Amino acid sequence: MAVEDYPTPALPEETGVVASDLFGQAISQVAVAAGRDDTLPMLTGIRVEISGEKVVLAATDRFRLAVRELTWSTSAADIEAAILVPAKTLAEAARAGTDGTDVHLSLGAGAAVGKDGLLGIRSNGKRTTSRLLDAEFPKFRQLLPAEHTAVATVGVAELTEAIKRVALVADRGAQVRMEFSDDSLRLTAGGEDAVGRARICPSNSPATR
């Protein structure tokens, strides 16, 4: 195929800039919850809400919901926009570079943000262009409780290791039951022939309050 037959599409005007390390971390935390069923395109994307220097990322597959907020640099402090980007595109762009350089995102400026239906990502000499998803993302904020009756604080490493242990004997897709007490968290998961259990005890504070 001749390169000249496939010219690089013109990008919308640059919208904002974010450090690649922050971009990669935020995308990886959210993309894991995105759906993979192409018959439900609204769930295969990451919703990107822009409000001045604040950016909110959200993804859900109906069973999980991940939300991450971050700040970026933009010349349009009054910008207000929301778009839906294929999660695969953002995940691949995030993996491409986390070397601390800036990631430049192009969606247009002012009222034109997202109107071209394109997203341009440029970082460290690499350039990615993707079409936006023309679908309505679920209203996820109504799924988040305004108040909590209890809060549990658990170390990420300890929780991850405990889940891996109980998952060894669980059927694929099995639920993990979490039982909270004042000083510990007990995880249980099982299949037809075996049950896995793990207990996490915080070293310096109660598990719940």
- The per-residue pLDDT for range 144-163, each reduced to its tens digit, is 888 888 888 888 899 999 88
pLDDT the model gives residue 151: 85
Helix (H) or strand (E) holding 105: strand 102-106
Nearest to 176 by CA among 32, 150, 35, 186: 186
Q: Which residues neighbour 146 within 8 Å (Cβ) at sequence distance 6 or greater?
A: none
pLDDT at 4 over 80: no
Say how many CA atoms lie within 13 Å of 44 toward its Cβ. 13
| Rounded mean pLDDT, 25-31 | 96
- The per-residue pLDDT for range 167-185, each reduced to its tens digit, is 887 777 778 888 988 888 9
pLDDT the model gives residue 43: 97
Q: Which residues neighbour 79 within 8 Å (Cβ) at sequence distance 6 or greater?
A: 15, 50, 51, 52, 109, 110, 113
| Rounded mean pLDDT, 49-62 | 96
Structure tokens belonging to residue 79: 């910008």
Which has more confidence, 93 or 9? Answer: 93
In whole angstroms, how large is the CA radius of gyration of the chain? 21
Which three-class secondary structure state does DSSP give residue 92?
helix
pLDDT the model gives residue 54: 97
Domain layout of the chain by residue ranges: 12-143, 156-200
pLDDT the model gives residue 147: 86
Q: Does domain 12-143 have CATH number 3.10.150.10?
A: yes
Q: Is the pTM of this model over 0.85?
A: no
First CA to last CA distance, the chain = 63
Q: Across all residues in the chain, what is the average pLDDT?
A: 86
- DSSP labels, 22-66: HHHHHHHHHHTTS---TTSGGGSEEEEEEETTEEEEEEE-SS-EE
Burial class (CB in 10 A: 0-12, 13-18, 19+), 200: middle
Name the pLDDT band for 209 (thresholds 50, 70, 90): low
- The per-residue pLDDT for range 97-130, each reduced to its tens digit, is 667 789 999 999 888 888 899 999 998 888 889 9
